[in-house]
Amino acid sequence: MWTWSAARALSGGNMQKLILGRALSIRAPGSTLPAPRLIVANQPTWGLDVGAVAYVHQQLLDACAAGSALLLISEDLDELMALSDRILVMYEGAIAGEARPESASIEDIGLLMAGGEA
């Protein structure tokens, strides 16, 4: 049996999943609405447990496979490497460089984050 709760009563992780589900629900199977053209995800897995992280990552990847573009803003380098086709690194308010996950290492990205060159 389902019970209903106010969103404010949910844990932080469940609240994040609720927001993601709401944002992506228009592309549910059988929906006649198109996938969102752009998803902006700022720290989408911050504070989530491992299972919830995997769920959120899969939902974002599925949305991209359905035609959505994803702008991922994250401090988690493993997350960026797993979900990104291209990574732009900011340093002191400007783009310091670009990296491709298939050819760059976390060390290369770290160097760009510190103002160096990869």
**What would the pLDDT profile of 7-47 be if each residue is shown by its tens digit?**
777 777 777 777 777 777 655 566 666 778 899 999 988 88
Q: What does pTM read for this prediction?
A: 0.76
DSSP assigned state of 97: E
Cα–Cα distances in Å, from 114 out to 4, 15, 117? 47, 33, 9
Q: Dump pLDDT digits (tens) for 65-106.
A: 888 899 999 989 999 999 999 999 999 999 999 999 999 999
